[in-house]
Chains A and B, each alone.
Chain A
Amino acid sequence: MAKKIRILLAKPGLDGHDRGAKVLARCFRDAGFEVIYTGCHNTPEQIVNAAIQEDVDMVGLSCLSGAHTYLYPEVVQQLKDRGVTDIPVVGGGIIPDRDMQPLYDAGLKAIFTPGATLDSIVEWINTNIAAKE
């Protein structure tokens, strides 16, 4: 049997709007991925530690407080600082157009905004993320 894709879902920062993250956690589970959801209020450092410890194939970030401009790039940077180059980071939330390019420039692999269907996100993962051997 093929190895399952392992995904860390995390909410960085102080934001508590976790509806989206939890809906995705269920969706990913139903799609046959292994999901680790760490709940609200994680620091970038905690997220990076969990990603390394759990040896995940992807990190998904959700933040709706407006602090994504600081928090998402911070997670990418701290992964780099720890020498991790094989865990892509994707983000979701209400991301204004003006923030999109800076986030991609900071190293985010994909950004999903309102209107993205669950199936379209699953499809993106199946196309772009492979389970580590």
Chain B
Amino acid sequence: MLFTQELLDQSSLLRKKWEDEVKRVVSKNPDQKADWSTVSDLGIKRIYGPEDIGGMDFEKDIAYPGQFPFLRGCQATGYRGKYWTFRMFSGMGTAVTTNERWHYLLNNGQTGLSTAFDFPTLMGYDTDSPKAKGECGKCGVAIDTIEDFFDLTKGIPLGKVSTSMTINPPATILWAMYCATADIQGIPLTQLSGTIQNDMLKEFIAQKTLMCPPEPSVKLISDTIEFGTKYVPKWNTVSISGYHIREAGATAVQELAFTLRDGMEYVEDVIRRKGLPVDSFAPRLSFFFNSHIDFFEEIAKMRAARRIWSRGMRERYGSTDERSWWMRFHTQTAGCSLTAQQPYNNVVRTATEALAAVLGGTASLHTNSLDEVLCLPSDHAVQIALRTQQIIAEETGVCNTIDPLAGSYFVEALTNEMEEQAWDYIHKIDELGGMVAAIEKGFPQLEISDAAYKFQRQIDAAEKIMIGVNKYNVENEEVDIPLVEIDETVEQEQLQRLAAVKRNRDSKRVKECLEDIKKACEKGENVMPYCIEAVKARASVQEICDVYREVYGEYRDPGIY
């Protein structure tokens, strides 16, 4: 019990008086609207008090940072020891262009790198594939072979800067390129730190960069977890992502539940398939959340996430190493909350979302640029987005104390409610036979699609407000911000580069390497060492992915709605 009976009695008395007063006022001046709920449609009460959290146990449910259940943060010193990592996601055009952007960001005070790849790379196709036509360099950087990777990382101290790569089906290959590049430069793998997203379950659920069916996709992920555990101990081999689930239209609770259940699925697979003890690999699992526009809902979601994960690791998997109980996560502000209309307003949205992420205790953060809803971000827009983080960190004072919202009747009650609803989903997915089975049945996909449709209807009816979209619109608005464009010469340039690499490499060696990967796939061996050899021999992303597709089969989006 957080409160004495005496206090609760006192509160109940005062509350009754307050309720009477509310009734009196509302009868004369009715509320502005009937429905007060979060952006995810979670009902919110007019007020919260001691009775809303009176059942909590301080030691079991709250405690201090660095103490189970880690509600208040994973480590004891909060942001006083170190701010979150300022990590802006970037990638555009060729590797050379992206490398220039990286140096620009590092010179502006960014503290970690984060790579956006173009669609062909994300889907495991080379620039010279007919499927890649028109896409090269558009949504990120085009990487076909390790030669591109050398350009991408030129002048970047791989042993010192941590690098995140948003790559999923071909994650083994891009990570192999990173490891091989370091190896060629004489940097030991044990010094490398960074993250590969490598979370296929959320691809089937939401983001849809797809290659092979769910089961072998999870096998490839377990390969990377095993390889990282043994040889690249500072690398986060999977970033279990709610971001895309949310962007696809999920509610905050769905994002929380599906993401954590995905994480549990990977834990179970590595234990079963690789026979590794949970505490040998679980400390390197990392997470990635969205920070949407509903301020308190996001903070409560992040706090609940830490508590659910630590409880799950301890109770479901018998983990005894507290590092396995820590949920460390990256956050990105919500792209889907931004508007093409009156785009400068996006700076305000992003700042609010970034503040929520910080109050939620994020370990690393990307803030969207105001123009990202329209195009790839310009240098100036990126700078404002990065400065937003720096202002929050160094001017606002919010880093002075850890988890400042703890003990708030409202925030604690909302955190509890979201945790409870998330567990309901997690147990439902358990009943369906786990996340792979749930995905095959279309369960999370349909839940999200219901929520997305409902939200769109609410926007159209102006029941939920987006400024500039359904309120305070400007007629015949002219967008006056500069739009970054990737021109078609990028594709021509990249095609020539790829052709040159293919001409100059030892094609017999490439063939042998691909054959080795094929055998490893067929035998269920770990593919990572073979991928490293193959990329060193200049095998391309698509050549290796074609082996995966051949052995494991190709997955087509069933288009569930």
Contacts and interface: CB of A to CB of B under 8 A. Distances in A.
Interface of A: 13-19, 22-23, 25-27, 37-41, 43, 65-67, 69-71, 74, 94, 96-98, 113-115, 117-119
B387 interface: no
Interface stretch (B152-160, B203-211, B539-547): B203-211
A75 to B, nearest CB: 12
Interface residues of B, number: 44
A40 B507 CA distance: 34
A114 B558 CA distance: 26
B453 A37 contact: no
A98 B374 CA distance: 12
B456 interface: yes
Contacts of A69: 134
Contact of A43 (B122, B131, B373): B131
Contact of A14 (B120, B247, B336, B483): B120
B63 to A, nearest CB: 38
Chain A facing B: main interface SS: loop
Interface in B167-205: 203
Contacts of B258: none
A13 to B, nearest CB: 6
Contacts of B119: 13-15, 65, 67
Contact of A40 (B208, B374, B479, B483): B208
Contacts of B135: 13-14, 65-67
A23 to B, nearest CB: 5
Given A23-B452, A23-B456, A94 B374 contact: yes
B249 interface: yes
B122 A14 contact: yes
Contact of A117 (B130, B341, B460): B460
B486 A66 contact: yes
Nearest to B375: A96
Given A39-B559, A66-B375, A14 B131 contact: yes
A118 B460 contact: yes
A113 B340 contact: yes
A8 to B, nearest CB: 11
Contacts, number: 106
B345 to A, nearest CB: 13
Contact of A118 (B139, B456, B558): B456
A19 B337 CA distance: 13
B133 interface: yes
Contacts of A19: 247-249, 336, 452
28 contacts: A14-B122, A14-B123, A14-B125, A14-B131, A16-B208, A16-B209, A16-B210, A17-B208, A22-B452, A22-B561, A23-B456, A26-B453, A37-B561, A38-B559, A40-B210, A43-B130, A65-B135, A65-B139, A66-B135, A69-B134, A74-B134, A94-B340, A96-B479, A98-B483, A113-B340, A114-B340, A114-B373, A118-B456
B132 interface: yes
Contacts of B374: 94, 96
B511 interface: no
A97 B479 contact: yes
Contacts of A43: 130-131
- Nearest first, the 7 A-B pairs at minimum CB distance are A39-B559, A16-B208, A70-B134, A39-B557, A14-B119, A22-B561, A66-B138
B427 interface: no
A113 B341 CA distance: 10
A41 B210 contact: yes
Contacts of A40: 208, 210, 557, 559
Interface in B329-379: 336, 339-341, 373-375
B556 A39 contact: yes
Given A40-B559, A118-B457, A67 B138 contact: yes
A49 B382 CA distance: 42
Contacts of A37: 559, 561
Given A15-B139, A67-B138, A114-B341, 18 more contacts: A14-B131, A17-B247, A18-B248, A18-B559, A22-B452, A23-B453, A26-B453, A39-B557, A39-B559, A40-B208, A71-B134, A96-B374, A96-B375, A97-B479, A115-B473, A117-B460, A118-B457, A119-B460
Contacts of B203: 16
Contacts of A41: 123, 208, 210, 556-557
Contacts of A117: 460
A41 B132 CA distance: 11
Contacts of B75: none
B557 A67 contact: no
A65 B460 contact: no
B170 to A, nearest CB: 13
Contacts of B208: 16-18, 40-41
Interface string B90-131: 000000000000000000000000000001101101000011
B38 interface: no
B340 A115 contact: yes
B469 interface: yes
Contacts of A114: 339-341, 373, 469
B390 interface: no
A94 B123 contact: no
Q: Which of A23, A70, A71 has the most CB of B within 10 A?
A: A23
Nearest to A38: B559
B383 interface: no
B120 A26 contact: no
B449 interface: yes
Contact of A25 (B139, B486, B561): B561
Nearest to B456: A23
